[in-house]
């Protein structure tokens, strides 16, 4: 018996067999009443016919009473509530997913950091290499020419980031990033310091007393936002810089920046080395293309390799993530579509049931008003889903910022503004109107042509179901491709052994480490001390940690006199002498670096197998020469070939890479790598103490086990893929639920036919097949559309979501099999119920 | 009949024990000596609604003339509901009597 709180059964979709039983019970109960009244009437002396007529007259409209009782039993408020909650939940999921991405897109496209809000005509100079790659690095030589001779910008500025050791009086130094800026930098951005001032013209002169302007973040972190910070100084690379100002919190740079310093240079320093960021504000009336041509002409219009491209800050910030964000938006829109179809189909089924009741004349109250109620209900459900979705999106967005924006996450202030609110509300209203109005229009039309439109309604529902299945498959295949890509990466040999390794980034700079020789001396001292430390097996250096960070690229030539167009880009890493051996990188041919290589007359390099195959297929690369793309085209000899080492990012395929020796190439920002003979954690304190004892001014970051760093990276990658896996499974669950409801609904509509067939001798197997047949067609159509859709869509995701073949048959087949298998099980289970309908009940009440 | 009165009459009738719908109608007519004439059909939506609310429970059984009939029985929730409705009714009727001067103030 049913109480006020329903059992789990009452929350399930209406079962045709149960509905028939309910109708039978109600009719039997009313019939009993009428018969008892007629009997009493007869006992009181009435004629049987009159007695029956009197019973009917006392009772009232039997059909209406029956319909009211049925309505009460089937429309339990709790049941309706769960139906509405189900719809709201689906839309919350769909709209929430879209809103998460829109929140980020809104920030990236429209909410620039304060630094650039008023600077739409602020353009950065970028260079496009003929191979399509872009770089923002200009040379000082070019900049000085532009500054003197260009007429397309109001003013041009130059900036340079560099990693430094930062310290305030009496504090342990830490690693930081300083941006050196040329004259007029702050003024050109139209942003004034919140405290103090910017740089005075004389502070840009060579030999001027060093000064610094702090970022808001550093001011808060290191000086607790105290106003007397202007009396203090900041040690940048052990050189005191007087603090003259603090920039506002929103003055965010492309890379997180701790402080700004004036860019100073001696006239003789103006070389061709490309390492500076040039930018400027366009003069009124000058187009981007004209300005680019003007700068190109000053640089050398005939440069066949590098072409100047001017990019706005929106291009610079937005471009790396925009396409990725649109891919996410597309995927989330698919999920929203699926959720909408699910809710829409549920709404539609309810109206169709009402339609059936209305056609049978069971109820007399169905007219326009239930449809109007349906429209209001759809609008309210969509609005509730939209607002809840927006709330969920706001809660989720911060945890997804990292995967969505990567290094740019710090630049953007993500919050719900009027644009986001309008987007969510208009999306909700549109969905609500679409869901509410369409059935309204179709069902109103139907009054004149009930039979024809009934089959049309079934076709509409069938098409919706097939589309739901197709959308679910597209999401499943995408998740499968991402999973495959992750698995490929997991299965790819690391190419090195991270066991027992500790690592820490090290930045040594400042007056005492101004030259490569003094830097090398520092590291030589580090290694000599670490060698004597008990438990340390070996120690070395690397510019880039393997398996985590992508390696930088350099251009090389195979011949000294080769034209600029013949250059090739390969990945590059700078390592210590013992690094490759210590990391367990396999030597395939030749030899590894040796201490004598540091002082040899000819530069040497070790290359990976991918580079050997790429540049010297079928030949022995050892002894071959290549030329670096520097002014002297330095010749470098290949001394050995090592196995491929996995890099960071979604690139399981090995790419050509070469190693340079630190003692020849140099570099102030390296990673120290220590291999331990004992538990590495036990060595952390003694290594840190050793490093401090050499020079306590060198900033020291905590030593971390390499395996832990790799595991953290793997976890982040897995979580990212898991989000899409969950989306795929949610889509599958939605499709399965829709199929079940749709099948039960179809059986209910055909209950009379099923009853008739059973009476004429059809077996339960025949009835199951009868119920299943139309759905098999829809399932097949859905799977086919889904496969085609996935094949059309997923090629756009390559490189953005995963690497590898977008038509990977394993991902497609497993997605299709999982979907079809799960849906078939659900369909068969639902069809079994149809087979057990009582034929008499089906015929009488169906 | 006032809104809610039918529910109260049904609940009160069922305090006598389980009954089918027709017996409930007959009992109400007997007790009220046919003063309260209700359209008999209206009893059933009320019964089903009260069943949904958990005030009464239903069970199929055999009637006095050996036919299958649905018997309704009061639940504890229904008993509490009856007490509530009776107290409301009493307050309402006392107030009405006062207005009509049928009961002196302070009686």
Question: Quick one: residue A183, left, alpha or beta (phi over 0 = left, psi -120 to 50 = alpha)?
Answer: beta
Facing residue for B39 by CB, picked from A28, A60, A76: A60
Span A806-823, pLDDT tens digits: 888 999 999 999 999 999
Closest CA to B18 of B84, B93, B65, B70: B70
Facing residue for A29 by CB, picked from B21, B49, B57: B21
Q: CB–CB of A2 and B51 under 8 A?
A: yes
According to the model, what pLDDT value does residue A440 have?
Answer: 65
Residues of B in contact with A1 (CB under 8 A): 51, 57-59
Q: CB–CB of B21 and A35 under 8 A?
A: no
DSSP state at residue A9: G
Taking residues A235-247, report their average pLDDT.
89
- Six-digit token pair at A62? 């039997």
Sign of torsion, CA A127 A129 A134 A135?
negative
- Six-digit token pair at A470? 């197709």
ipTM over 0.90: yes
Instruction: Count how many pairs of residues, chain A against chain B, have C-beta atoms within 8 Å.
Output: 78
Sequence-ordered list of residues with C-beta below 8 angstroms from that of A785, at least 6 positions apart, any chain: A466, A467, A469, A470
Span A339-378, pLDDT tens digits: 888 888 777 766 665 555 444 443 334 444 567 777 888 8
Q: CB–CB of A58 and B39 under 8 A?
A: yes
**Domain for residue B50, yes or no?**
yes
According to the model, what pLDDT value does residue A367 have?
Answer: 45
For residue A73, the distance in angstroms to the closest alpha carbon of chain B comes to: 7
**Domain for residue B2, yes or no?**
no
User: Which of B29, B48, B56, B80 to probe by mutation at the A interface, max A CB count within 10 Å?
Assistant: B48
Average pLDDT taken over every residue of chain A: 81
For residue A749, the distance in angstroms to the closest alpha carbon of chain B comes to: 25
For residue A72, the distance in angstroms to the closest alpha carbon of chain B comes to: 6
Chain-centroid distance, C-alpha A626: 40
According to the model, what pLDDT value does residue A474 have?
Answer: 93
| B38, pLDDT greater than 70 | yes
Q: Would you say A102 and A94 are in contact if contact means Cβ atoms under 8 Å apart?
A: no
Lowest mean pLDDT among A195-204, A232-241, A749-758: A749-758
For residue A461, the distance in angstroms to the closest alpha carbon of chain B comes to: 32
Span A289-303, pLDDT tens digits: 889 988 888 887 777
Task: Tell how strand A635-642 and strand A603-608 pair up.
Answer: parallel
According to the model, what pLDDT value does residue A351 have?
Answer: 64
Facing residue for A30 by CB, picked from B42, B44, B63: B44
Residues of B in contact with A69 (CB under 8 A): 44-45, 48
SS3 A21: helix
Q: Where is pLDDT greater, at A416 or B13?
A: B13
Q: CB–CB of B44 and A28 under 8 A?
A: no
**Domain for residue B107, yes or no?**
no
According to the model, what pLDDT value does residue A839 have?
Answer: 64
Domain boundaries, position B46: 9-99
| B107, pLDDT greater than 50 | no
Query: Could you give phi then psi for residue A797, rounded to 5 degrees?
Result: -90, -10
What is d(CA A680, CA A703) in angstroms, rounded to the nearest whole number? 10
The reported pTM is 0.65
- Which helix (H) or strand (E) segment is A803 a member of? none
Closest CA to A95 of A524, A509, A389: A389
| A430, pLDDT greater than 90 | yes
According to the model, what pLDDT value does residue A622 have?
Answer: 93
Q: How confident is the model at residue A5 (pLDDT cuts 50, 70, 90)?
A: very low
The proportion of chain A whose per-residue pLDDT surpasses 90, expressed as a percent, equals: 24
Based on the structure, what is the number of domains in chain B?
1
According to the model, what pLDDT value does residue A12 have?
Answer: 44
**CATH number of the domain that B71 lies in?**
1.10.10.10
Residues of B in contact with A61 (CB under 8 A): 41
| A320, pLDDT greater than 80 | no
């Amino acid at each position: 018996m049913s109480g006020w709180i329903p059992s789990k059964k009452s929350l399930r979709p209406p079962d045709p067999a149960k509905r028939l039983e309910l109708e039978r019970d109600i009719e039997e109960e009313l019939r009993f009443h009428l018969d008892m009244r007629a009997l009493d009437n007869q006992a009181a002396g009435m004629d049987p016919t009159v007695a029956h007529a009197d019973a009917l007259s006392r009772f009232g409209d039997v059909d209406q009473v029956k319909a009211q009782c049925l309505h009460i039993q089937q429309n339990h408020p709790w049941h309706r509530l769960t139906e509405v909650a189900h719809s709201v939940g689906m839309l919350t999921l769909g709209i929430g997913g879209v809103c998460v991405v829109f929140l980020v897109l809104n920030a990236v496209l429209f909410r620039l950091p304060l630094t650039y809000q008023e600077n739409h005509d602020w353009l950065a100079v970028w260079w496009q290499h003929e191979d399509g790659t872009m770089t923002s690095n200009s040379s000082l030589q070019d900049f000085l020419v532009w500054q003197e001779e260009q007429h397309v910008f109001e003013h041009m500025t130059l900036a340079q980031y560099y990693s430094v050791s930062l310290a305030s009086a009496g504090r342990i130094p830490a690693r930081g990033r300083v941006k050196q800026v040329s004259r007029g930098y702050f003024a050109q951005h139209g942003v004034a310091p919140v405290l103090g001032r910017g740089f005075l013209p004389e502070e840009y002169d060579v030999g001027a007393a060093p000064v610094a302007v702090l970022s808001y973040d550093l001011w808060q972190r290191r000086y607790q936002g105290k106003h007397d910070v202007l009396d203090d100084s900041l040690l940048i690379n052990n050189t005191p810089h007087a603090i003259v100002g603090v920039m506002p919190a929103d003055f965010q740079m492309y890379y997180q920046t701790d402080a700004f310093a004036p860019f100073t240079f001696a006239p003789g320093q103006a070389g061709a080395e490309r390492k500076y960021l040039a930018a400027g504000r366009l003069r009124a009336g000058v187009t981007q293309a004209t300005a680019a041509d003007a700068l190109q002409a000053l640089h050398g219009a005939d440069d066949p390799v590098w072409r100047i491209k001017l990019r706005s800050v929106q291009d610079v910030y937005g471009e790396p993530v925009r396409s990725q964000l649109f891919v996410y938006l597309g995927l989330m829109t698919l999920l929203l579509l699926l959720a909408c179809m699910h809710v829409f189909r549920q709404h539609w089924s309810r109206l169709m049931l009402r339609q059936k009741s209305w056609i049978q004349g069971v109820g007399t109250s169905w007219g326009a008003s239930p449809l109007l109620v349906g429209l209001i209900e759809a609008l309210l459900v969509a609005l509730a889903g939209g607002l809840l979705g927006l709330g969920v999106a706001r809660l989720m967005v911060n945890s997804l910022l990292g995967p969505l924006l990567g290094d740019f996450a710090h630049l953007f202030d993500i919050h719900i503004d009027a644009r986001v609110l309008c987007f969510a509300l208009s999306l909700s209203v549109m969905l609500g109107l679409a869901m509410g109005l369409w059935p309204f229009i179709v069902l109103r039309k139907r009054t004149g042509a009930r039979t024809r439109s009934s089959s049309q309604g079934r076709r509409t529902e069938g098409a919706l179901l097939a589309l739901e299945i197709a959308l679910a498959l597209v999401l499943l295949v995408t998740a499968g491709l991402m999973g495959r890509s992750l698995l490929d990466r997991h299965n790819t040999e690391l190419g090195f052994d991270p066991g027992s390794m500790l690592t820490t980034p090290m930045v040594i700079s400042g007056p005492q480490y101004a030259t490569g020789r003094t830097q090398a001396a520092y590291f030589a001292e580090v290694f000599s001390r670490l060698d004597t430390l008990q438990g340390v097996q070996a120690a070395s250096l690397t510019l880039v940690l393997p398996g985590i960070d992508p390696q930088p690229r350099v251009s090389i030539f195979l011949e000294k006199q080769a034209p600029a167009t013949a250059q090739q880009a390969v990945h590059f890493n700078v390592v210590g002498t013992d690094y490759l051996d210590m990391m367990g990188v396999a030597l395939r041919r030749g030899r590894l670096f040796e201490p004598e290589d540091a002082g040899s007359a000819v530069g040497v390099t070790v290359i990976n197998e991918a580079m050997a195959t790429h540049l010297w297929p079928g030949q022995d690369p050892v002894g071959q020469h290549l030329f670096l793309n520097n002014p002297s085209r330095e010749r470098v000899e290949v001394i050995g070939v090592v196995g491929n080492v996995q890099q960071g990012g979604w690139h399981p395929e090995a790419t050509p890479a070469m190693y340079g020796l630190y003692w020849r190439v140099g570099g102030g920002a390296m990673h120290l790598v220590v291999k331990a003979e004992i538990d590495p954690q036990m060595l952390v304190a003694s290594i840190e103490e050793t490093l401090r004892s050499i020079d306590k001014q060198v900033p020291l970051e905590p030593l971390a086990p390499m395996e832990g760093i790799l595991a953290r990276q793997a976890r982040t990658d897995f979580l990212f893929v898991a989000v899409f896996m969950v989306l795929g499974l949610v889509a599958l669950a939605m499709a399965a639920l829709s199929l079940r409801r749709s099948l039960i609904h179809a059986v209910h509509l055909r209950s009379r036919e099923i009853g008739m067939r059973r009476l004429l001798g059809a077996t339960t197997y025949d009835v199951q097949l009868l119920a299943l047949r139309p759905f098999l067609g829809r399932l097949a159509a859905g799977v086919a559309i889904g496969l085609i859709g996935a094949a059309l869509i997923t090629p756009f995701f390559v490189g953005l979501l995963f690497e590898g073949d977008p038509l990977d048959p394993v991902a497609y087949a497993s997605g299709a099999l999982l979907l079809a298998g799960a849906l078939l099980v659900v369909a068969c289970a639902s069809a079994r119920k149809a087979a057990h309908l009582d034929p008499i009940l089906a015929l009488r009440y169906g | 009949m006032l809104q809610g009165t039918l529910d109260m009459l049904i609940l009160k009738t069922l305090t006598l024990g389980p009954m089918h719908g027709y017996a409930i109608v007959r009992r109400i007519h007997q007790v009220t000596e046919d003063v309260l004439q209700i359209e008999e059909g209206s009893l059933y939506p009320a019964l089903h609604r009260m069943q949904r609310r958990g005030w009464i429970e239903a069970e199929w059984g055999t009637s006095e003339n050996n036919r299958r009939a649905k018997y309704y029985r009061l639940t504890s929730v229904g008993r509490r509901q009856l007490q509530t409705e009776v107290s409301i009714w009493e307050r309402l009727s006392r107030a009405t009597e006062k207005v009509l001067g049928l009961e002196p103030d302070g009686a």
